[in-house]
């Protein structure tokens, strides 16, 4: 079968690592139109013409429209014994299954709700774009105990949460609503406990380092700084600097290293205070 050279670039998963699944689905949709223009009829003596067409379609796609990376991933996905009679339809389903884990439904749902119509975009084009993007979302449940409302509530809790540790774990593990509620409570308790232990360690470090005599200058200096609140850990007994345990911790609010949540140097904490003063 002779096929003319195509203007379509080969599909390369490496170029779409952020969302291979969506890129693959979109490419296959375009390839369907491309193949219609170049498809040949099967030989007259072919028994199963539909299967012949599907196998030829798979051969053309792999040979002329797939990058070396995709071909390698195809070989990893499909056992060698199954490749001879593999149809194009089977190939697409197997590769979709392979790329499916790279999707994050909560993030996809979040991006879906950010879609707006462009100023120079017609309604039909906009509606088509929305329908296309909806394919990346997951607004249905796999069991009778889950509802669309559960999915929307779960997504909003994850997206709006101020606890980055909960959000990171929820997105990584694809928690449903009940899992999010259970694990979220545990993570919040762990976060609070870790913060309390770190503050206590900071205080203990300062106390063990400073043991001046009753009338020494160091004692007077300790009394002088007792009312000072450390900018990185908010502990009045801490002098700050490298000996402060907060300088080695990651903030659970802004996710930056070097201070505790709610400290004076936390930009997220200070921004909320400024906004609160303005609102007042």
Q: What is the pLDDT along the chain (280 residues), one digit of tens a residue?
A: 444 455 689 999 999 887 888 889 999 999 999 998 888 888 888 888 888 988 999 999 999 999 999 999 999 999 999 998 899 999 999 999 888 766 666 777 777 777 777 888 787 877 777 777 766 666 665 555 667 777 777 877 887 777 888 888 888 888 888 888 888 888 888 877 777 776 766 655 544 444 444 444 444 444 444 456 788 777 777 777 767 777 777 787 787 887 777 788 887 777 777 666 665 5
106, exposed or middle or buried, with CB in 10 Å at 0-12, 13-18, 19+?
buried
Residue at which a domain ends, from 79, 102, 125: 102
Is residue 3 domain-resident?
no
pTM of the model: 0.42
Domain count across the chain: 2
Q: Enumerate residues 6+ apart whose C-beta is below 8 A from 94.
A: 77, 78
In contact, 160 and 221? CB cutoff 8 Å: no
Nearest one of 94, 57, 100, 56 to 76, comparing CA atoms: 94
Owning domain of residue 44: 13-102
Is residue 124 domain-resident?
no
Is residue 125 domain-resident?
no
Is residue 119 domain-resident?
no
My answer on whether 182 and 267 are in the same domain is: yes
My answer on whether 97 and 181 are in the same domain is: no
Is residue 217 domain-resident?
yes
45, exposed or middle or buried, with CB in 10 Å at 0-12, 13-18, 19+?
exposed
In contact, 251 and 260? CB cutoff 8 Å: yes
Helices (H), the chain: 20-38, 49-64, 68-77, 88-99, 105-112, 123-134, 148-160, 164-173, 177-209, 217-225, 267-279
Spatial separation of the C-alpha atoms in residues 169 and 257, rounded to whole Å: 19
Residue at which a domain ends, from 102, 135, 154: 102
In contact, 99 and 116? CB cutoff 8 Å: no
Q: Enumerate residues 6+ apart whose C-beta is below 8 A from 222.
A: 210, 212
In contact, 78 and 96? CB cutoff 8 Å: no
Q: Enumerate residues 6+ apart whose C-beta is below 8 A from 211.
A: none
Is residue 213 domain-resident?
yes
Spatial separation of the C-alpha atoms in residues 168 and 188, rounded to whole Å: 13
In contact, 96 and 24? CB cutoff 8 Å: yes
My answer on whether 270 and 182 are in the same domain is: yes
My answer on whether 186 and 98 are in the same domain is: no
Is residue 248 domain-resident?
yes
101, exposed or middle or buried, with CB in 10 Å at 0-12, 13-18, 19+?
exposed
Is residue 250 domain-resident?
yes
Residue at which a domain ends, from 38, 68, 102: 102
């Amino acid at each position: 079968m002779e096929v003319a050279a195509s203007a379509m670039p080969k599909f390369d998963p490496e170029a779409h690592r952020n969302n291979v699944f969506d890129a693959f689905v979109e490419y296959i949709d375009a390839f369907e139109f491309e193949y219609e223009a170049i498809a040949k009829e099967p030989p007259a003596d072919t028994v199963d013409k539909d299967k012949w067409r599907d196998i030829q379609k798979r051969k053309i796609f792999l040979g002329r429209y797939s990058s070396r990376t995709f071909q390698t991933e195809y070989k990893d996905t499909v056992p060698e014994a199954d490749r001879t009679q593999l149809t194009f339809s089977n190939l697409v389903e197997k590769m979709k299954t392979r790329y499916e884990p790279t999707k994050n439904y909560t993030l996809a749902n979040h991006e879906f709700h950010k879609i707006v119509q462009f100023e120079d975009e017609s309604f039909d084009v906009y509606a088509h774009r929305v329908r296309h993007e909806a394919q990346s979302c997951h607004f249905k449940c796999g069991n009778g105990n889950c509802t669309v409302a559960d999915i929307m509530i779960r997504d909003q809790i994850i997206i709006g949460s101020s606890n980055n540790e909960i959000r990171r774990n929820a997105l990584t593990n694809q928690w449903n609503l009940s899992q999010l509620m259970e694990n979220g409570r545990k993570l919040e308790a762990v976060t609070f406990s870790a913060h309390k232990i770190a503050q206590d360690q900071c205080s203990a470090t300062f106390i063990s380092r400073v043991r001046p005599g009753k009338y020494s200058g160091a004692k007077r200096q300790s009394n002088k700084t007792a009312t000072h609140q450390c900018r990185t850990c908010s502990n009045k007994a801490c002098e700050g600097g490298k000996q402060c345990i907060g300088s080695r911790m990651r903030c659970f609010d802004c996710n930056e290293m070097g201070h505790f949540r709610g400290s004076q140097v936390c930009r997220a904490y200070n921004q909320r205070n400024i906004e609160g003063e303005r609102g007042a």
